[in-house]
């Protein structure tokens, strides 16, 4: 499949094969949206729908034949789907620190199990200053828990390290989706309890309850706009989902990407794990449909922006690798879709912008959707104009590339064990360096599966030097410390 089809592929065959509770809602959404004539004039709400380890390629609308994602596919059609979005640092804690603060990982959360710095404000602060109620539900992973401290799922995050949200019901980390404990409150109001079912379903229940509470306040005339985050563990390993989703997939029928080695242990593991991975994604899509339905029932759908995203991807055998922290596309590239609230804004939208959006850009973009200026401590770019079709600020030209990093490696198996820095350009080039040496260089337009590393091909010396110079500029502009090669 060439890059054009890879980025602009049609819905998957799997989407047509599996009926589900979410499908009717998705099909209804394909009809023309209503006009804005009777919509109330009020500031829009924003909800982040935040998955863990969901790679950008694992969507029906991205041409993945395994993916059953009718709801997300519909959101892609009527939303702005940033097909070049990258993780920035493809690892849970650094991405989460960066996405909440719009600070680069080396200035905020540089590695695995690092906490948010004391006193660091998050996106909750400017939303609250603008009169919004703020809420967070689910995986946090920024409290500073370490493996030596016992089970992360039972760890109580210090209330001072919960990001300043008005409502916070979450957990530090939990790789056991059927045994998920959440906590919140403090002092005499502190609580902790075990969710009664599958984690994604139950956390979605909490968000839906919150939406209904906000809707009731709105009806009483005492409501205010809200910003909420639903952060779920899946499709992070272990790769398990409720039975009705697991039974749709068997390892032998999974279609592997062309860059997965065939005929050995890597293929065997990839097939087994991908069967559960796609089941978890189908369940996540089903729960996104539930959130959309709740917004419609509460008459909030057309005044609520949805941001569908993930912290990083998952290699699943591509290039013989598994999990994350790698700069290859399967680990680095993430879904990022702005949808909802569309009828309020007139004119055709840019459906698939190629802007190089990264983790630092998510907070400024979310604020921009609501007309809120980003605070001066945020470093990212506001891409909300693609959704609102407003004019770009001529004083702030759009970046030509995204800066990507691995600052402090985890040291885990199946992870790259050296720091690296790189960039992905808007016109389809990727360059990645270890300390003092070029490691990877790919032309993603011609080689979307990264089968031909051009880093040490003298036929590409000129473009390598150009990319290195741009990477050096990124290192300097972000006050990073990293030894780049001279050429």
pLDDT in tens, 181-203: 999 999 999 999 999 999 999 99
pLDDT at 148: 65
C-alpha pair distances (Å), 429 with each of 94, 325, 327, 329: 24, 19, 13, 12
Do 425 and 467 meet the contact criterion of CB atoms below 8 Å apart? yes
Distance CA 451, CA 444 (A): 10
* Mean pLDDT in residue range 368-383: 94
Q: Which of 142-151, 197-206, 320-329 has the lowest mean pLDDT?
A: 142-151
pLDDT at 395: 56
pLDDT at 218: 85
In this prediction, residue 32 has a pLDDT band, given cuts at 50, 70 and 90, of very low
Distance CA 348, CA 239 (A): 39
* This prediction's pTM: 0.89
pLDDT at 399: 95
pLDDT at 341: 78
Do 60 and 272 meet the contact criterion of CB atoms below 8 Å apart? no
Over residues 345-363, the pLDDT tens digits come to 444 455 899 999 999 999 9
Distance, CA of 126 to chain centre: 21
Q: Which of 19-33, 204-218, 472-486 has the lowest mean pLDDT?
A: 19-33
In this prediction, residue 322 has a pLDDT band, given cuts at 50, 70 and 90, of very high
Q: Which of 167-181, 326-340, 378-392 has the lowest mean pLDDT?
A: 378-392
Percentage of the chain exceeding pLDDT 90: 76
Distance, CA of 267 to chain centre: 26
Residues contacting 251, CB < 8 A, separation 6+: 271, 272, 274, 275
pLDDT at 6: 29
Classify strands 304-310 and 45-51 as parallel, antiparallel or unpaired: parallel
What values do phi and psi take at 322, rounded to 5? -135, 160
pLDDT at 22: 36
Q: Which of 97-106, 218-227, 281-290, 388-397 has the lowest mean pLDDT?
A: 388-397
Do 390 and 77 meet the contact criterion of CB atoms below 8 Å apart? no
Residue 445, phi-psi category: left (phi > 0), alpha (psi -120 to 50), beta (remainder): alpha
Distance CA 116, CA 113 (A): 10
Q: Does the structure show a pLDDT above 80 at 207?
A: yes
pLDDT at 14: 43
Q: Which two tokens stand for residue 301?
A: 């759908």
pLDDT at 396: 76
In this prediction, residue 470 has a pLDDT band, given cuts at 50, 70 and 90, of very high
pLDDT at 82: 96
Mean of the per-residue pLDDT values of the chain: 88
Q: Smallest Cα–Cα separation from 139: which of 310, 25, 1, 257?
A: 310
In this prediction, residue 391 has a pLDDT band, given cuts at 50, 70 and 90, of low
pLDDT at 342: 60
> 359-369 and 92-101 are packed helices; what angle lies between their axes, rounded to 10 degrees?
30
pLDDT at 448: 97
pLDDT at 486: 85
* Mean pLDDT in residue range 14-35: 37
* Mean pLDDT in residue range 409-414: 83
How would DSSP label each residue in 395-413?
Answer: TSPPPSEEEEEE-S----T
Over residues 2-16, the pLDDT tens digits come to 333 323 333 333 443
How would DSSP label each residue in 118-173?
Answer: TT---THHHHHHTT-EEEEEEE---S---GGGS-GGG----GGGSTT-SEEEEES-
pLDDT at 2: 39
Q: Which residues pair with 136 in a beta bridge?
A: 168, 229
Q: Which of 6-20, 72-86, 146-160, 290-304 has the lowest mean pLDDT?
A: 6-20
In a 10 Å sphere around its CB, with 0-12 CB exposed, 13-18 middle and 19+ buried, how is residue 9 labelled? middle
Rg (CA), the chain: 21
Q: Does the structure show a pLDDT above 60 at 37?
A: no
* Mean pLDDT in residue range 127-139: 97
pLDDT at 392: 61
Q: Does the structure show a pLDDT above 90 at 417?
A: no
Q: Does the structure show a pLDDT above 60 at 53?
A: yes
* Mean pLDDT in residue range 89-93: 94
Q: Which two tokens stand for residue 213?
A: 């509470």
Pseudo-torsion of CA 170, 175, 178, 184, nearest 10°?
Answer: -10
Over residues 272-317, the pLDDT tens digits come to 999 999 999 999 999 999 999 999 999 999 899 999 999 999 999 9
Show the domains of the chain with their CATH numbers: 42-399 (3.40.720.10), 418-477 (no CATH)
* Mean pLDDT in residue range 147-169: 86
Percentage of the chain exceeding pLDDT 70: 88
């Amino acid at each position: 499949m060439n890059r054009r089809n890879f980025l602009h592929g049609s819905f998957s065959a799997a989407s047509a094969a599996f009926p589900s509770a979410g499908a009717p809602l998705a099909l209804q959404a394909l009809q023309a949206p209503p006009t804005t004539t009777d919509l109330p004039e009020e500031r829009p709400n924003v909800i982040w729908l935040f998955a863990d380890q969901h790679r950008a390629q694992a969507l029906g609308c991205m041409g993945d034949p395994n993916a059953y994602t009718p709801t997300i596919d519909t959101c892609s059609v009527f939303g702005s789907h940033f097909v070049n979005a990258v993780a920035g640092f493809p690892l849970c804690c650094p991405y989460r620190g960066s996405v909440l603060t719009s600070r680069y990982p080396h200035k905020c959360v540089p590695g695995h199990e690092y906490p948010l710095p004391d006193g660091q404000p998050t996106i909750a602060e400017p939303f609250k200053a603008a009169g919004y109620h703020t809420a967070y539900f689910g995986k946090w992973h920024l409290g500073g828990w370490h493996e030596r401290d016992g089970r992360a799922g039972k760890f109580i995050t210090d209330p001072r390290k919960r990001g300043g949200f008005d409502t916070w019901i979450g957990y530090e980390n939990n790789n056991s989706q059927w045994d998920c404990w959440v906590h919140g409150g403090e002092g005499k109001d502190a609580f902790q309890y075990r969710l009664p079912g599958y984690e994604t379903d139950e956390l979605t229940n909490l968000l839906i309850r919150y939406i209904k509470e906000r809707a009731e306040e709105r009806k009483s005339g005492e409501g205010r706009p809200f910003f909420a985050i639903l952060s779920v563990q899946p499709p992070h390993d272990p790769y398990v989902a409720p039975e009705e989703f697991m039974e749709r997939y068997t390892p032998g029928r999974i279609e592997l990407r062309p860059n997965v080695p065939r005929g050995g242990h890597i293929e065997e593991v990839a097939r087994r794990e991908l069967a559960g991975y796609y089941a978890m994604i189908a369940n996540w899509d089903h729960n996104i449909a539930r959130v959309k339905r709740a917004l419609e029932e509460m008459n909030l759908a057309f005044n609520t922006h949805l941001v569908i995203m993930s912290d990083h991807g998952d290699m699943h055998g591509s290039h013989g690798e598994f999990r994350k922290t790698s700069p290859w596309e399967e680990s680095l590239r993430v879904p990022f879709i702005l949808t909802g609230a569309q009828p309020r804004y007139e004119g055709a939208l840019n459906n698939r912008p190629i802007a190089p959006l990264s983790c630092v850009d998510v907070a400024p973009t979310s604020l921009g959707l609501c007309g809120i200026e980003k605070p001066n401590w945020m470093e990212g770019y506001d891409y909300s104009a693609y959704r609102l079709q407003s004019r770009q600020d001529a004083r702030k030209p759009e970046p030509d590339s995204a800066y990507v990093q691995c600052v402090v490696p985890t040291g885990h198996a199946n992870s790259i064990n050296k720091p690296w820095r790189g960039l992905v350009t808007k016109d389809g080039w990727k360059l990645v360096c270890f300390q003092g040496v070029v490691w990877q260089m790919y032309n993603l337009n011609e080689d979307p599966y990264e089968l031909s590393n051009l880093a040490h091909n003298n036929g590409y010396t000129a473009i390598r030097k150009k990319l290195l110079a741009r990477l050096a500029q990124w290192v300097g502009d972000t006050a990073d410390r990293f030894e780049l090669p001279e050429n």
